[in-house]
Amino acid sequence: MTSRRRRPIKREQGKLRDARLFLIVSEGSDPEQSYFELFDTSPRRQFLFIGPRKDRSAPPHLGRRLREEKKKLDWQPGDVCAFVLDKDRWPDKTLSRLAQEAVDNDAILALSHPCFEYWILLHFSGEADIPVDRKALKSMVRSRRDQMSTRNFEKTLIENVHHAMDRAEALDVDLDARWPTTCGSRVYRLMRRMLMIQPVEKMKSEYALKAR
C-alpha cells in the first residue's frame, strides 16, 4: 500500500474551529494505515499517519519521527499523538525507551501484543477465539477478508469498534504496566479519543452513503 500524500492541516472548518489533529507514528503501514483511514471522516478530526521508513521501524526511530513531525506542525492543546506498534519482536528494554518517549510527548502508546492483527480480530471474535501466534493471527485476518467483500469487512470494523474497545479494555487488567504484558491491545485508548469527536453511529451512515 502506498503512503497517503500529506494534506494541509486546516484548523478552521466553517464554524468548526476546534478541529483536532491525530498524529499517528507507526512501525507498520498495513493493515494499520488502512484501518485508521476508515475513521478519517470528520472535518473535526484530521489525521497524519506516519509509516515506517526503510529499515527504520524500530521503536527509537518512532520516537525521533514523532518529535520531527511535531516540530513541523501547528501543534495545539487537544491534539493527540500516538505510537502504534507490535510487542512481539521488541525486547522490554527497547520498549521502555519508547514508553518514556510517550510520557515525555504526552503520547498514547497504542501497543498490540503480539501484533496489530489481534486488535483487528477483536472486532469479530471474543478473545477465547483468537490465536496468540503472530503467523496464525495474520492468517486469520486474511481469511476474514477473503470470506467477505472489502466493503463488508470495512463496514464490520466500523460497526464493531465499540465491541473491540470494550474487549480490549477488559483484557487490559494490569493498568500500571506500560504496555500489555499478555495478549491484548491498547489501540482502544487511541480509538476512544478519536470517537469522542465523532460518534461511530454517524460514521456508519456516512460509510453507507459513500458505498452507494
Report which of 56, 67, 146 is spatially closest to residue 100, judged by C-alpha positions: 67
Report which of 205, 201, 175 is spatially closest to residue 188, judged by C-alpha positions: 175
pLDDT digits (tens, 9 = 90+) for 51-79: 988 766 688 899 999 999 999 998 999 99
On whether the CB atoms of residues 26 and 53 are closer than 8 A, the answer is no
Torsion of CA 201, 16, 33, 168, to 10 degrees: -50
| Nearby residues of 43 by Cβ (< 8 Å), 6 or more positions away | 13, 14, 16, 19
Q: Specify the pLDDT at position 18.
A: 65
| Predicted structure pTM score | 0.85
pLDDT along the chain (212 residues), means of 10: 43 55 93 93 88 78 93 91 93 94 96 96 82 92 92 94 95 93 96 81 54 53
Q: Which residues on neighbouring strands pair with residue 203, listed in sequence order?
A: none
User: Could you give all domains of the chain from N- to C-terminal order, each with its CATH number?
Assistant: 20-116+164-202 (3.40.1400)
Q: How far from 116 is each of 122, 129, 159, CA to CA, in Å?
A: 10, 16, 18
User: Residue 62 carries which side chain, given as an amino acid letter?
Assistant: L
Relative orientation angle of helices 150-159 and 161-171, to the nearest 10 degrees:
60
Chain centre to alpha carbon of residue 41: 15
Strands 108-113 and 184-185 turn out to be antiparallel
Other CB atoms within 10 Å distance of the CB of residue 139: 13
